[in-house]
């Protein structure tokens, strides 16, 4: 049952997360998953955010499909399928606290690294790394539903055109999240009535905030928004590590 207290807690988190998605083209799960995991089990939060991400990224896909580098997505696909299967196995063998602690450390690392990145962009990567990148995306997406930074980091090494990068990242996330949702569905993790009830309440908020974020992206100074988002990621990740450590 989705109680009013659940709704009051989840709505502002989802609103902030999908406002960020609209502004930055990724990052919603990095904000929503660790904060929602304070109230609900991680195993219930991840499929919810994956479904929201798929639908919100399709909307954000006011994407110019002509700019999407589909060849890059095809190269990642075999590794992505393998990573999804590996992540599903890890969910069954890891103690419940470990995924929570790993998620917190991962989110905090992403935020802190992004805050201190300066200088020239990294050298372009060859296409041979697409399989390992796909495996990493599949594992992280299955465990935490937060593979956006992994996708962004890899494609940033492959695509020089900023418009092409912005168009390709959400489409790749849709493919990755859909692959993971298929795995979860086959494993019976999408059968909870509470999951679908939460989705029905939160989806309109997520879609509205993606639209708003996409609109605001033209007016908010990018450097300031980046600092706020990264600081938020670092703080939420460290809090999640502390929660897992305390049990």
The contacts of residue 164 (CB under 8 Å, 6+ apart) are 67, 68, 69
Q: What is the mean pLDDT of residues 38-50?
A: 88
The confidence score (pLDDT) of residue 10 equals: 94
Q: How confident is the model at residue 208 (pLDDT cuts 50, 70, 90)?
A: very high
The contacts of residue 149 (CB under 8 Å, 6+ apart) are 26, 27, 30, 110
DSSP 110-157: HHHHHHH--SSPPPPPPGGGHHHHHHHHHHHHHHHS--HHHHHHHHHH
Q: What is the mean pLDDT of residues 156-178?
A: 82
The confidence score (pLDDT) of residue 79 equals: 94
Instruction: Pull the structure tokens for residue 180.
Output: 């993971």
In this predicted model, which residue has the larger pLDDT, 4 or 39?
39
In this predicted model, what pLDDT tens digit does every residue of 61-71 receive, in sequence order?
665 677 888 89
- Residue 84 confidence (pLDDT) above 70: yes
- Please report where in the chains the tokens 């991840």 appear, as a residue: 46
Question: What is this structure's pTM?
Answer: 0.75
The confidence score (pLDDT) of residue 232 equals: 66
- Residue 215 confidence (pLDDT) above 60: yes
In this predicted model, what pLDDT tens digit does every residue of 102-147 receive, in sequence order?
767 877 787 787 777 655 555 566 777 889 989 988 988 887 777 7
Domain extent listing, the chain? 4-246
- Residue 82 confidence (pLDDT) above 90: yes
């Amino acid at each position: 049952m989705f109680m009013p207290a659940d709704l009051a807690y989840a709505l502002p988190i989802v609103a902030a997360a999908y406002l960020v998605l609209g502004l930055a083209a990724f990052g919603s799960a990095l904000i929503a998953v660790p904060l929602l995991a304070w109230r609900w089990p991680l195993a219930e939060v991840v499929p919810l955010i994956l479904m929201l991400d798929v639908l919100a990224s399709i909307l954000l896909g006011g994407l110019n499909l002509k700019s999407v580098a589909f060849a890059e997505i095809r190269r990642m696909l075999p590794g992505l399928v393998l990573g999804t299967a590996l992540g599903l196995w890890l969910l069954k063998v890891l103690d419940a606290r470990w995924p929570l602690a790993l998620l917190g450390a991962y989110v905090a690392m992403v935020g802190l690294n992004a805050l201190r990145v300066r200088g020239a962009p990294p050298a372009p990567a060859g296409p041979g790394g697409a399989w390992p990148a796909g495996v990493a995306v599949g594992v992280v997406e299955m465990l935490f539903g937060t593979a956006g930074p992994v996708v962004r980091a890899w494609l940033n090494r492959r695509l020089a055109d900023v418009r092409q990068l912005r168009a390709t990242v959400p489409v790749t996330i849709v493919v990755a999240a859909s692959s993971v949702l298929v795995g979860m569905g086959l494993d019976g993790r999408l059968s909870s009535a509470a999951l679908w009830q939460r989705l029905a309440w939160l989806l309109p908020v997520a879609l509205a905030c993606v639209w708003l974020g996409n609109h605001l992206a033209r007016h908010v100074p990018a450097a300031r928004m980046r600092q706020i988002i990264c600081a938020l990621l670092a703080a939420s990740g460290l809090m999640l590590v502390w929660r897992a450590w305390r049990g």
